[in-house]
Chain A
Amino acid sequence: MWAFYNGRTQARGKREGREAKSHGGYSKKKLNPMAHRLLVRRIWTLSVKDLRCLPASLSSFSTSLRSSTTPLSLLSPKRTLPRSLPHTSRREVSFNVQDHEDFTERVINSELPVLIDFHAQWCGPCKILGPRLEKAVAKQKGKVHMAKVDIDDHTDLAIEYGVSAVPTVIAMRGGDVIDQFVGIKDDEALDSFVSKLVGQ
């Protein structure tokens, strides 16, 4: 029914200050969303960089102790940030976006490239594409993350990124939209889409 896609992803920074609260439940007055995001990203990147050294060294340590039963081997091989980090809980490769702050933090400001899967409960094709995406992302062994956005819960976010039909998958790196597609793709096409995102 909603088969057309209007290619509005580049327009995400151009919305004027919005006070509306969608029934999704969050509201943020974004007078200049692009600038706001860049600023937050800079601050975040600075704070993350300090802590990044920690897991990197720990994870390399953990791989060398893979077979041991020391506590260090309990570290996830996915190079997750330690639990003591205030803003994020255990960083998973594939996660459901909770709110706008979560999206900013884990998607826009992600060091890694992120696939954003815009889906809906009522969307049949989404249920087919979902597992395929998970598979393609898992193959990359942590080089790419996947953020799942339920468009009924996060309608404003979906509208902001120009989503009209679902499923819509957006490939994002450094807060910029690199690529996107609408509808279902088979495993091969998905692998190539994800590899392209990771490769460059």
Chain B
Amino acid sequence: MSNLGHTCWLCLLWSHYQHCPIEIEWHGIWFVTGTFDYDLVVIGGGSGGLACSKEAAQLGQKVAVLDYVEPSVKGTKWGIGGTCVNVGCIPKKLMHQAALLGTALKDAQKYGWQIPGPISHDWSTMAEAVQNHVRSLNWGHRVQLQDKEVKYLNVKGSLLDEHTVKGLTRTGKETMLTAKNIVIATGGRPKYPTHIPGAVEHGITSDDIFWLKESPGKTLVVGASYVALECAGFLTGIGLETTVMVRSIPLRGFDQQMAGLVTDYMEAYGTKFSWRSVPKSVDKLSSGVLQVTWTDEQTGKDQRDTFDSVLWAVGRAPETKTLGLEKVGVKLNKESGKILVAADESTSVPNIYAFGDIGEGRPELTPTAIKAGKLLARRLAGRTNELMNYDNVATTVFTPLEYGCVGLSEEEAESRHGKDSIEVYHAFYKPLEFTVAERDASQCYIKVVCKRGGDQRILGLHFTGPNAGEVTQGFAMGFQCGATLTHLKETVGIHPTCAEELTKVNVSKRSGLDATVTGC
């Protein structure tokens, strides 16, 4: 915008481009001929971007997907697939599994397995296996794009105008693409608390943890999001001394009673928690360890301890800074920095769409991004008018004691309907597998939040226990169908499972009766 541009002699219009020869010739082409290089250009090759581009290509559209990974501060980078595949869901779940297997090995002895000697975990073996699997997924995505005839470009995309995308390679070479429609699915990256001295130089984030070749050692995880708790959970599980530093509450946005059960279990399981603490500075000592100073907000005093690694899990920021959105007129939410989107994923610019983690108010989940991407592709190809339904999305937190839920939290239900209009049924149960293993099941709990009276429609369903994701998925379908408490009670449980306890809930919180499940 600085030099006011120049006239494009082909179309005799003012152009804002600074690079003269290329843009003149090329800008003119799309305007004069009215044709575009592509029907659809997707910026971002993550869960959403890939699903959208592949679906569009299958529907006969000419599609290009631009994927680029800006290396993390520590220099970590990865292949195509986005956060989920490379630095999110996939490596997280695999490392969580590694931790669970450690616990299982301990339980195994009670079940008769003769395990000689103490059990130890080797980070490098796990990391290599996990990283190899991720690489196979990167490859798989490349093959799929090839097969579905989606043009893949490993370039950093930015918008020049509503139909033009500039791609920049790692070495600075430029490419231009014109498109009828542009979709932004660039997702987010972990935030660094830049105001804390030493935070950027010495800390790592979830972008780095899964790609470490050596063990992170004694780790401080700052944050209480599911990212923080899941990471701290598996680090503890593989035998590393781990501390979680929480400023206020754990799992903000989730049901707080359930969040408390999750953290109680983690504390009993061996993770240290530093509640109501705010880090002040991180220094590297001559020995190489990191010294962290923090303020205990309850006492007001400063505390200090040393760690091998500091993992910042204090939120994620949307990847919008280098997209050129302002120039093109795509509006953002001022607070979150995310792109403002309508129900059909459209932005303030007619042919530009945005979805996935980058969309304001959208859940930051892979399945919603995938589904939304596919529906968007179908709408753009004129095959449907169906909009993405973001309600009733089930999710699970893969902490050592997993927590699965669908629908409203108890607090949200209370605030929407009023405490007197809801009935909360609950139960403390003990997984059968825990009995022989002599494991503490105090935090294994079920909560079904229903509308009071009438058909007692289920408003929210919450479950802590082993395999929470597997348990919750089936109930999510019932939820989607408008399940009521009667439906739940009419469902015969599968025995012996943890999931069946959901079908047997009968004690309400209001009654004040003991909600502990006794034997069958």
Binding site for B on A (CB under 8 A): 1-2, 6, 19-23, 27, 120-123, 151-152, 155, 159, 163-164, 166
Contacts and interface: CB of A to CB of B under 8 A. Distances in A.
A21 B154 contact: yes
Interface residues of B, number: 22
Interface stretch (B166-174, B266-274, B457-465): B166-174
Contact of A27 (B77, B79, B132, B169): B169
A164 B154 contact: no
B136 A20 contact: no
Instruction: Please indicate which of the listed interface residues B77, B136, B155 has the most CB atoms of chain A within 10 Å of its own CB.
Output: B136
B153 interface: yes
Contact of B142 (A21, A121, A159): A159
B146 interface: yes
Contacts of B153: 19-20
A127 to B, nearest CB: 11
Contacts of A1: 136, 140
B132 A121 contact: yes
Instruction: Please indicate which of the listed interface residues A123, A155, A166 has the most CB atoms of chain B within 10 Å of its own CB.
Output: A155
Given A19-B173, A20-B154, A120 B143 contact: no
A120 B140 contact: no
A120 B143 CA distance: 14
Contact of A155 (B136, B142, B169): B142
B175 interface: yes
Interface in B148-197: 152-155, 169-171, 173, 175
A23 B133 contact: no
A159 B136 contact: no
Contacts of B139: 2, 120, 151-152, 155, 166
B135 interface: yes
B135 A23 contact: no
Nearest to B140: A2
A21 to B, nearest CB: 5
30 contacts: A1-B136, A1-B140, A2-B139, A6-B147, A19-B155, A20-B152, A20-B153, A20-B154, A20-B155, A20-B169, A21-B155, A21-B169, A21-B170, A21-B171, A21-B173, A22-B154, A23-B77, A120-B135, A121-B132, A122-B132, A122-B135, A122-B136, A151-B139, A152-B135, A155-B139, A155-B142, A163-B143, A164-B143, A164-B146, A164-B147
A22 B147 CA distance: 17
A122 B133 contact: yes
A6 B138 CA distance: 18
Nearest to B155: A20
Contacts of A155: 139, 142
Given A1-B136, A2-B143, A21-B154, 12 more contacts: A1-B140, A6-B147, A19-B169, A19-B175, A20-B152, A22-B154, A27-B169, A120-B135, A151-B139, A152-B79, A152-B138, A166-B139
A20 B45 CA distance: 14
Given A20-B152, A23-B154, A120 B169 contact: no
Which 9 A/B pairs are nearest by Cβ-Cβ distance? A122-B132, A122-B136, A164-B143, A20-B153, A21-B169, A20-B154, A122-B135, A19-B175, A152-B135
Nearest to B146: A159
Interface in B108-161: 132-133, 135-136, 138-140, 142-143, 146-147, 152-155
Nearest to A18: B153
Interface in B274-332: none
A22 B152 CA distance: 10
A155 B169 CA distance: 16
